[in-house]
Structure 1
Amino acid sequence: MPLSMASALHRGEIHRAVARRVSNAITSRAVSEMAITDVTGSVQLLGAMCPDRAANV
Structure 2
Amino acid sequence: MQCPRCQKLTRDLDAAVASGDRSKAADCRVLIGRHPDHDRPAPAPKKGKALR
Choose 1 or 2 for highest CA Rg.
1
Q: Which TM-score applies when normalising by structure 1?
A: 0.33
Task: Report the TM-score when normalising by structure 2.
Answer: 0.36
Which has more helix, going by share of residues?
Answer: 1
